[in-house]
Structure 1
Amino acid sequence: MSDNLSLKAFVVLMKSTKSVQEKVKEDISAHGMRISDFTVLEALYHKGRQTIRQISEAVLINTGSITYVIDKLETKGLLERMNCKEDRRVVYIQITEEGKQLMDEIFPEHQQVIENIFSSITDDEKEMLVNVLKKVGQK
């Protein structure tokens, strides 16, 4: 019986993940952005200056692909590279003022979309969901 329940939990998790991803993609696309562009900007917007490796780990995009995304965003003037004075091998990426203004404009709307997705569950249920998903992710 628990095997069937595990399978059911897996299917429900996958379907809900797909549904959430579609809503988020729709929201981000409405702002003329791709998910990868938005997630990189969002990481820099909230965490400040980061190395490419830190960004890659934060947004779960491999370092090869992240370089392409960073190049595109740099060309658009939304972020910039800065060499580390202490270690020439390290390059920091930071959001520009133009990138910050863009995120100031679109992030509150994005946050509202996320709030709407989770509006049917209580705060206690959200905390429980976070804890359960952490357990599943650590397995």
Structure 2
Amino acid sequence: MTDGRESIAAPREWGDEEERALRLWITLARAYLTVSREVGLKVTEYGLTVPQFGILEALHHLGPLSLGELAEKLLVTGGNITYVMDRLEEQGLVYRKRSDEDRRVIKAYLTAEGRQRIGEVFPGHAEFICGLMGHLEPDEQVELRSLLRTLGRGIAEGAQQAVPVTSSQSDRAE
């Protein structure tokens, strides 16, 4: 007995190139979600959120940064940085100060407590990340990083618009 819903898969209407790209996208998305989930769980053990940890880590390794620079480094919006900075200030881990060079710019700084906190948790975090990435051999890690950078740069430069339309794509569009 059926409920009227179609149970047969739709026929594949794309070629090998599209199939390969779609499978790559799915694999990349699943890997990202898995790593993100694991990192998120680990960071909560430090009593922080992932964005909070990201800000502390960036300030620890790069020194004072403008809120715009932080947003760019962490791939988030300025509004998100402001919200996360508010929470970190409430915890006494960071503070903000207008730049002496350009009064329009607000810079973020670690407090002594913030330096101590990230200094305590970062070595264990680096070890944790090393363990996650340890599923790949060192040369595979280098190669994957290179491939992902190439992919990211290509997409950012608009390479996706340069993909030629195949005859099967133009047939479907008509």
Q: TM-score band, normalised by the shorter chain? A: over 0.9
CA distance in 1, matches of 2:146, 2:109: 32
Q: Name the TM-score, length of structure 2 as normaliser.
A: 0.77
Map Cα deviations across residues 50-90 of structure 1 (whole Å, 9 max, x no partner).
Answer: 00000000011100111111111112110111222222212
Matched, 1:130 2:140: no
CA distance in 2, matches of 1:17, 1:109: 21
Map Cα deviations across residues 105-128 of structure 1 (whole Å, 9 max, x no partner).
Answer: 111111111101111211211111
CA distance in 1, matches of 2:78, 2:99: 18
1:80 match: 95
Structure whose alpha-carbon radius of gyration is higher: 2
Matched, 1:19 2:34: yes
Matched, 1:2 2:17: yes
CA distance in 1, matches of 2:96, 2:146: 36
1:51 to 56, 63, 66: 66
1:119 to 134, 144, 148: 134
2:159 match: none
Q: 1:12 corresponds to which letter in structure 2?
A: T
- For these two proteins, the number of residue pairs brought into alignment is 139
Q: 2:82 corresponds to which letter in structure 1?
A: T
Q: Name the TM-score, length of structure 1 as normaliser.
A: 0.95
**Highest relative contact order (Cα 8 Å, sep 6+), 1 or 2?**
1
* Structure 1: tracts of 5 or more residues without a match: none
* Structure 2: tracts of 5 or more residues without a match: 1-15, 156-174
CA distance in 2, matches of 1:36, 1:118: 21
CA distance in 2, matches of 1:45, 1:77: 15
Please, what is the CA RMSD of the aligned residues?
A: 1.0
CA distance in 2, matches of 1:85, 1:94: 14
CA distance in 2, matches of 1:105, 1:62: 28
Identity between Structure 1 and Structure 2 (%):
32
1:93 match: 108
CA distance in 2, matches of 1:87, 1:69: 23
Offset of residue 2 of structure 1? 2.4
Q: 2:98 corresponds to which letter in structure 1?
A: N
Offset of residue 96 of structure 1? 1.1
